[in-house]
A and B are shown apart, each in its own frame.
Chain A
Amino acid sequence: MNGFQSYDRSPTALGTLVRSGAVYVILAVISAGFLLPLAWMLSVSLQDVRGVFAQPFAWIPPQPRWENYSDVATLIPLGRYLLNTVVVTGLVLLGTVLSCSLVAYGFSRIRFRGRTVLFALCLSTMMLPGQVTMIPLYVMFSRLGWVDTLWPLIIPSFFGSPFYIFLLRQFFLTIPREYDEAARLDGAGRFRVYWSIILPLARPALITVALFTFIGTWNDFFTPLIYINSPEHATLTLGLNMLKSQIVGTGMTQWHLLMAAACMVMLPNIVLFTLAQKYLVKGIAMGGLR
């Protein structure tokens, strides 16, 4: 009897096969549950407004209305909102990666009095809900004359974010100090070590931070809602809300257009997730390192 036959016929192997089959079926059912809203969104984006309320719901539209996607652009200046979102997301990404890595470097590599207390203080700011700081921040930005500009959405990212500082610090602690020491012997200063040694070695962690920041900023609705007043400074999420809100007394939500716009807005996120999911998963695991 060869090994293959013994594997194929073994009751234990059969049991494993059945068990994994059952696990896959359960996972598939759960995944379908998560994918259902996405499928509904895609389907509605290709129907007219009546399709949303139709019973039974037609999952595959009999006559897909591809023009919904172009109609969105006639209702809201999609290009302008896209530009605003790209500018905000790009600068927030830059600010977050630079500031958080610099602070994390300090906490992980430089020994100074009060370091632990400062780090704990930094982490404790995570406990403050955004709603608590909303009004004082609004008043501050308003006094600076920045309300109704994109600056309040961008500038705070250059002052670090406690979660990403923690994440990067944990990663930096895994990089052997011998690298720093070798560089210092070669005459590198602290900033040179940070820039030329630590940052290149921490690329996976930086990519993770960048990904989380991108997704968070791209999808952020609350911050632009608070600081942006004029339609011309709106971001894509505010644009989506403009398709959802009803006209006082007379209007209804154009669900089909809203879903078409939502499909377009979430496209970069889906592409990014597909390309970089290993970094996202690593990033979540990284929070628990050391």
Chain B
Amino acid sequence: MISKRSIAFLLFAPLIVSSCGTKEQSNTGKARISYNCSANAVEIKHLQEELPSFADSTGVEINLQPFTGQEKLYAMIAAEQPPDIFYTNNVLRDRLAAEGRLLDMRSLSAGDPFTGRLWPDVYSQGFSADGGLYSVGNWNFTAGVYYNKDLFNKAGLRYPDTSWTWNDLLAAARRIAAERNASGEPEHYGLYIPSHFVEIFELMNGAPVQQRSLFLNLSEPSLEVYRQYLALMNDRLMPDLRRMQAMGMQASQLLQTGKVAMLVEAVPHQVLFETLTIRWGVAPIPRFGTRPVRCFRSESGGLSISSQTANAQAAWKALKWIIAGASIYQPNPVLRDADFVTGWEARYPRLVGSGFREVWQRSLRHPAGDPRFFVRFSSWTSASILEHLQPLLDKLWARETTIEALVASQPDINRAARTELERLIQRGALREEFIKAIKEQLLQASHEPQR
């Protein structure tokens, strides 16, 4: 006699086992490509709706693998089961390419009209030290100064435009911050520049961007920007960084509440577009005196194809569709033929007349690349450099150290970077072409004056 418990077990066990799942196998005869999209519910939903028609028209099925964070990617790479297509930033791309884990897409892209649709900088950025094409930029943005129109009106200031300079910005900030409360704090601070945007001003001030450079060299234009940035806090034109962080204030809240009249942020910036209820506009990052205009444009990452992909042609088709076909990413600013501004104005009508168009077009006219290409963010030694430099920068912004002390620490930082690099070469995990390129750079650096 079978007991009731056994019957229940027999009924439920297959159900449980089946819900634990087995690996799905494609039996449609179509090529199957896995794509590590970001783990965002809206993005996944949109992609899932469009994937069947893409598969029908191209014979390529895209299997979504939504996750964010590099731990999983590393585990998958170690198990030799990486997704066919995944996002890489500069550093990761070069490292994986040097380890032979990325597909060189030159043979796929050569003669493909798709590459002609990309902005040249987006395309050329994917080339690594050995001349191989290891990624294609999949998104782009610039930066601007968002301002509160009512506070500008109240202070009798004209709205900033494309002609304004750093001195104009300072003058406007001073006028806005002139009104002080009993404790001497401004009723409204002039502006707020989050510390990770300081690099954009370094770029605008003419700091040289040396891609793949190995050692830190803080140039005079960068140091000048650091001085100006500290002066903003010392003169109470900008709220104290550490205090803002301690209060947990979001940058958008500072602008929304009138705590600051100007805010430096990314353009486009969906959080600001959706949450600001004040009357606002956006202006370009101001130039420094007579220095030429050099606009920040992000180019520091893109989509790569794994060298272990079973079907490179199908992966290339999928990559092109993700960038230029999937509606969730359209209009995509990396495409020359996409009217990005009009598309975003249609999505957010309040952008019309806000200055968004001018900021974007100016960045296209005067692209100066990405300050994340500074040696501290984009080279073989960037991790080591940042590990030592970032705490010093944090101290500098907290006014616990000086610019002179920062400059004096450069040799130590570079020494640590060199040691780390030599260890990497000795480990022997890199391809010969890359080791050769690094050694050449090291040799070149040894001929340069000691920093």
What residues of B have a CB within 8 angstroms of the CB of A229 in the complex?
A: 34, 65, 67, 83
Closest residue of chain A to B24, judged by CB? Answer: A230
Q: Across the interface, do A87 and B22 meet the contact criterion of CB distance under 8 Å?
A: no
Cβ-defined contact, A138 with B78, below 8 A? yes
The answer to whether A150 touches B21, judged by C-beta atoms less than 8 angstroms apart, is: yes
A148-166 vs B, CB cutoff 8 Å, 1 = contact: the mask equals 1111001000000000000
> B75 near A53 (CB under 8 angstroms)?
no
Q: Give the residues in chain A near B78, CB-CB below 8 Å.
A: 135, 138-139
Q: Is A210 an interface residue (CB 8 A)?
A: no
Whether A50 is near chain B, meaning CB under 8 Å from some CB there, is yes
A231 contacts B44, C-beta separation under 8 Å: yes
Contact with A along B61-105 (1 / 0, CB 8 A): 001111111011011101101010001000000000000000000
Closest B residue to A232 by beta carbon equals B21
Q: What is the size category of the interface that chain A forms with chain B?
A: 35 or more
A250 and B270 contact, CB distance less than 8 A:
yes
Encode B38-51 as 1/0 by CB contact (under 8 A) with A.
11111111001000
Contacts of B139 in A (CB 8 A): 248-250
Residues of the A chain whose Cβ atoms lie less than 8 Å from the Cβ of B400: none
A243 within 8 A of B: yes
**CA gap between A229 and B78 in the complex, in Å:** 16
In the complex, chain A residues whose CB is within 8 Å of the CB of B66: 231, 242, 245
Find A249's partner among B34, B64, B257, B329 (CB 8 Å cutoff).
Answer: B329
Which residues of B are found within 8 Å of A249, using beta-carbon distances?
138-141, 329, 333
Per-position contact with A for B9-43: 1 when CB-CB < 8 Å, else 0? Answer: 00000001001111110000000001001111111
Which residue of A50, A91, A154, A245 is within 8 Å of B275 (Cβ)? A50
Question: Which of B198-206, B229-237, B248-256 lines the interface with chain A?
Answer: B248-256
CB of B271 closer than 8 Å to a CB of A: yes
Bound CA–CA A34/B78 (angstroms): 41
Q: Are B21 and A139 in contact (CB under 8 A)?
A: no
Contact with A along B121-145 (1 / 0, CB 8 A): 0000000000000000011110000
A272 within 8 A of B: no
| Bound CA span A83–B18, Å | 12
| Contact of B38 with A246 in the complex, beta carbons under 8 Å | yes
Which among B22, B63, B67, B329 is the interface contact of A250 at CB below 8 angstroms?
A: B329
A76 and B34 CA atoms in complex are apart in Å by: 20
Q: Does B56 contact A (CB under 8 A)?
A: no
Q: Which residues of B contact A87 (CB under 8 A)?
A: 16, 19-20
Determine chain A's interface SS by DSSP, over half rule: helix
A83 and B19 contact, CB distance less than 8 A? yes
Q: Does B274 contact A252, Cβ atoms closer than 8 Å? A: yes
Confirm or deny: A49 has a beta carbon within 8 angstroms of a beta carbon on chain B: yes
Is A190 an interface residue, CB under 8 A from the partner? no
Q: When the two chains form their complex, are residues B39 and A91 in contact, meaning their CB atoms are under 8 A apart?
A: no
Q: Is B328's beta carbon under 8 Å from chain A? A: yes
Q: Is the CB of B40 within 8 A of A148?
A: no
The reply to whether the CB of A142 lies closer than 8 angstroms to some CB of chain B is yes
Once the chains are docked, how many angstroms separate the CA of A230 from the CA of B51? 14
- Please judge, given known A-B contacts A53-B250, A134-B75, whether A247 and B42 are in contact too, CB under 8 Å: yes
Contact B71–A242 (Cβ < 8 Å): no
Which of A54, A84, A135, A238 makes the CB contact (< 8 A) with B19?
Answer: A84
- Once the chains bind, are B329 and A230 in contact (CB under 8 Å)? no
A63–chain B nearest beta-carbon distance, Å:
16
Tell me if A284 is interfacial: C-beta within 8 Å of chain B: no
Q: Does B277 contact A (CB under 8 A)?
A: yes
C-alpha gap A133/B48 in the complex (Å): 33
A46–B23 alpha-carbon span in the complex (Å): 39
A8 to B: closest C-beta gap in Å: 48
**Does A147 make an interface contact (CB < 8 A)?**
yes
Given A247-B328, A251-B43, check contact A150 B87 (CB 8 Å).
Answer: no
> Once the chains bind, are B20 and A151 in contact (CB under 8 Å)?
yes
Which residues of A are at the interface with B, using a C-beta cutoff of 8 A? 49-50, 52-55, 75-76, 83-84, 87, 90-91, 131, 134-135, 138-139, 142-143, 145, 147-151, 154, 225-226, 229-233, 238-239, 241-243, 245-252, 254
Q: B residues near A, CB below 8 A?
A: 16, 19-24, 34, 37-45, 48, 63-69, 71-72, 74-76, 78-79, 81, 83, 87, 138-141, 250, 252-253, 256-257, 268, 270-271, 274-275, 277, 328-329, 333
8 interchain residue pairs of minimum CB distance: A249-B139, A150-B20, A142-B79, A138-B75, A242-B41, A55-B257, A75-B41, A149-B21
**A to B CB contacts below 8 Å, 14 in the list:** A53-B253, A55-B257, A91-B16, A139-B78, A145-B23, A148-B23, A226-B72, A233-B21, A241-B39, A245-B66, A248-B138, A249-B139, A249-B141, A254-B42
